[in-house]
């Protein structure tokens, strides 16, 4: 009888565990469906081990071949964290120094000296922590079949490289700025001091020791591994031509891997930090890696939390792929998520928070009670629709549906906000509220973002209304449209066409030197709306924005609008493609 009771209890526990697992899987699938993400793979770490590895969806939007836990995804900038481990290994071997001028060991190429490097030099520590003043934020990669440049050509910005030269443009160590270009310098440095191809060095000294058997920095992929990959999808869910791009900037963006392998990487750091033997780095070096250098950036990883809830991690994006890694430095838990889509929403963050709550991990936001909605006049609700500058070059878009506001990302619904007052709305996902504000004439100028979890408030300026081709306005200055069109066409082409173009700010010329992926062509512009935003604090590519003009765009993409950011003297400093 006793044994029967034990079996009954065990059976009930299995049923409960299975039901809870179904809840987690159901939540993830619902998030994927909402965002139309074709495939997702994840790994969950608990007590320093992989607790769960699970795949959802398909390798492409055709929905025929399922994603498995062995399906390869591009890691994007998570590649930097893994590459950092290789560089720090070389420091411990005495082949590199964290604070030495990198030009001492570089052989194939040198960082050009200029007015910014007179007293302070580029160092490996500065590269790893994005504080060294090197340019080029990220890389678009190269389409399959395109000519691939050497690393030296990339560093000098010479053909067939599609990005500007990597140079120092502020005093090393004086401030923080993200630089994939810096990690490409590091890649060449590692090759020069070891005399070994980067993928082979990383395989021998990092990937294999950590058990990352499915991972490789080989670019392009060997044929046998190419059969195991997911297909990349852009934010509009169109497929990347050739299925993915090739990244000779391997340290910055070139790792092919799985969530389980990245979980093994995270576990390796956790074990080394705990002083366990058999890891790539010593405990001393690992603790340096997990020490804030500037702006919550360690050596190759970003940091969150305090001393007791410290987490390390990185996000990643390549053309058609997004990735996320976050793991506890001391408590043996962590999450890796990889998707075969570029998704600008908070989906992966929601999944992380759900998993953290599911397993009762500390250091993550704790949800408060669901907000109680009040009735709002539909006309007033409609007035809040529009676009707002969440932070530099990052737009948040609100659309009214029923008695709610929803954010839109990539044309798909993202976050729900419930009205709790006449002009105040609270998120159903996070402990965040928005309070809309107007000027003395009653014109809506933005909102105050209030984050109860992080204990801060920030003013978010309004960019303008949603685009509606049926509600056009009279263009206050039709003579400028041809000039704007010429400037945009130069931004699409990049290179010499951009250098010689008029009507553009210096920052736009610098940052769009490689051209724009979308739209491929600009055939005509039809004026829809303009908004005077002078004094609202909007800045793009180092220039203050005074006016934002919305056009309906005739191009290779149907039903698209383009919003153009203009300075006070009418120069184009940025543009954004939007669905509405």
pLDDT of the residue at 514: 80
Distance of CA 576 to the CA centre of its chain: 17
Among the listed residues 185, 193, 151, the one whose alpha carbon sits nearest the alpha carbon of residue 167: 185
Half-sphere exposure of 385 (CA within 13 A, CB side): 18
Tokens representing 20 are 């809870």
CATH number of 378-464: 2.40.128
- Determine the Cα–Cα distance for residues 339 and 359; give it in Å rounded to an integer: 22
Tokens representing 193 are 């001091």
pLDDT of the residue at 450: 93
pLDDT of the residue at 316: 98
Helices and strands (H, E) in the chain, number of each type: 15, 24
Could you give the residue ranges of the DSSP H alpha helices within 340-473?
Answer: 347-358, 378-383
pLDDT of the residue at 21: 61
- Determine the Cα–Cα distance for residues 401 and 382; give it in Å rounded to an integer: 9
- Determine the Cα–Cα distance for residues 479 and 489; give it in Å rounded to an integer: 17
Q: Please give the backbone phi and psi of residue 192, each rounded to the nearest 5 degrees, phi first.
A: -65, -35
- Determine the Cα–Cα distance for residues 124 and 88; give it in Å rounded to an integer: 9
CB 199 within 8 A of CB 216: yes
- Determine the Cα–Cα distance for residues 534 and 109; give it in Å rounded to an integer: 45
- Determine the Cα–Cα distance for residues 493 and 474; give it in Å rounded to an integer: 30
**Parallel, antiparallel, or unpaired: how do β-strands 334-339 and 39-46 relate?**
antiparallel
Tally of residues, the chain: 580
- Determine the Cα–Cα distance for residues 120 and 171; give it in Å rounded to an integer: 7
**Inter-axis angle of helices 259-273 and 78-92, nearest 10:** 40
pLDDT of the residue at 17: 47
Q: Please give the backbone phi and psi of residue 357, each rounded to the nearest 5 degrees, phi first.
A: -70, -40
- Determine the Cα–Cα distance for residues 57 and 86; give it in Å rounded to an integer: 33
Q: Is domain 73-358 classified as CATH 3.40.710.10?
A: yes
Q: Within the chain, which residues score under 50 in pLDDT?
A: 15-18
Q: What do you get for the CA distance between the two ends of the chain, in Å?
A: 67
Mark residue 524 as left, alpha or beta (left: phi above 0; alpha: psi -120 to 50; beta: remaining).
beta
Q: 39 forms bridges with which residues in the sheet?
A: 57
pTM equals: 0.85
- Determine the Cα–Cα distance for residues 300 and 268; give it in Å rounded to an integer: 14
Among the listed residues 413, 291, 329, the one whose alpha carbon sits nearest the alpha carbon of residue 35: 413
| Share of the chain residues as helix, strand and coil, in percent rounded to the nearest 5 | 30, 25, 45
Question: Each residue of 389-427: b (16+ CB within 10 Å) or e?
Answer: bbeeeebbbbbbeeebbbbbbbebebbbbbbbeebbbbb
pLDDT of the residue at 523: 86
Q: Please give the backbone phi and psi of residue 23, each rounded to the nearest 5 degrees, phi first.
A: -60, -45
DSSP sequence for 86-102: HHHHHHHTTS--TTSBG
């Amino acid at each position: 009888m006793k044994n029967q009771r034990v079996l009954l209890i065990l059976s009930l526990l299995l049923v409960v565990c299975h039901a809870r697992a179904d809840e987690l899987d159901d939540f993830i699938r619902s998030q994927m469906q909402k965002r139309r993400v074709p495939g997702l793979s994840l790994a969950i770490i608990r007590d320093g081990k992989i607790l769960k590895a699970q795949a959802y969806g398909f390798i492409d939007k055709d929905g025929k071949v399922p994603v498995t836990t062995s399906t390869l995804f591009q890691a994007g900038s998570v590649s930097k964290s893994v590459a950092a481990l290789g560089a720090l290994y070389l420091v411990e071997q005495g082949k590199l120094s964290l604070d030495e001028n990198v030009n001492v060991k570089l052989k194939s190429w040198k960082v050009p000296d200029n007015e910014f490097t007179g007293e302070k030099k580029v160092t490996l520590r500065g590269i790893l922590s994005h504080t060294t003043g090197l340019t080029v934020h990220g890389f678009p990669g190269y389409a399959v079949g395109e000519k691939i440049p050497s690393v030296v050509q990339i560093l000098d910005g010479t053909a067939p490289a599609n990005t500007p030269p990597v140079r120092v443009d502020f005093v090393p160590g004086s401030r923080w700025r993200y630089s994939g270009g810096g990690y490409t310098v590091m890649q060449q440095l590692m090759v020069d001091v070891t005399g070994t191809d980067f993928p082979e060095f990383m395989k021998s000294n990092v990937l294999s020791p950590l058990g990352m058997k499915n991972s490789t920095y080989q670019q392009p992929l060997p044929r046998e591994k190419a059969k195991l990959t997911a297909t990349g999808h852009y934010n509009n869910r169109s497929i990347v031509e050739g299925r993915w791009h090739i990244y000779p900037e391997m340290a910055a963006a070139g790792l092919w891997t799985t969530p389980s392998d990245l979980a093994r990487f995270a576990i390796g750091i956790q074990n080394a930090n705990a002083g366990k033997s058999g890891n790539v780095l010593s405990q001393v070096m690992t603790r340096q890696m997990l020490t804030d250098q500037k702006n919550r950036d360690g050596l190759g990883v970003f940091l969150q939390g305090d001393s007791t809830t410290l987490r390390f991690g990185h996000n990643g994006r390549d053309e058609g792929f997004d990735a996320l890694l976050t793991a506890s430095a001391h408590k043996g838990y962590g999450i890796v998520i990889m998707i075969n889509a570029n998704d600008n929403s908070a989906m992966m963050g929601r999944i992380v928070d759900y998993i953290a709550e599911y397993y009762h991990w500390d250091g993550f936001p704790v949800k408060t009670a669901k907000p109680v909605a009040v009735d709002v006049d539909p006309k007033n609700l409609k007035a809040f629709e529009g676009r707002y500058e969440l932070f530099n070059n990052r737009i948040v878009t609100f659309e009214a549906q029923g008695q709610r506001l929803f954010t839109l990302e990539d044309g798909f619904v993202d976050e729900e906000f419930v009205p709790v007052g006449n002009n105040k709305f609270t998120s159903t996902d996070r402990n965040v509220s928005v309070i809309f504000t107007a000027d003395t004439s009653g014109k809506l100028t933005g909102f105050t973002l209030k984050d109860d979890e992080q204990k801060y408030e920030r003013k978010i300026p309004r960019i303008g209304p949603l685009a509606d081709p049926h509600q056009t306005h009279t263009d206050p200055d039709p003579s400028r449209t041809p000039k704007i069109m010429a400037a945009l066409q130069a931004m699409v082409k990049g290179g010499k066409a951009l250098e010689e173009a008029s009507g553009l700010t210096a920052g736009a010329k610098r940052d769009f030197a490689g051209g724009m992926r979308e739209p491929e062509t600009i055939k005509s512009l039809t004026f829809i709306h303009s908004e005077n935003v002078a004094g609202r604090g909007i800045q793009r590519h180092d220039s203050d924005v005074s006016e934002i003009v919305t056009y309906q765009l005739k191009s290779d993409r149907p039903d698209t609008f383009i919003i153009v950011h203009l300075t006070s003297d009418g120069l184009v400093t940025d543009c954004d493609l939007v669905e509405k």
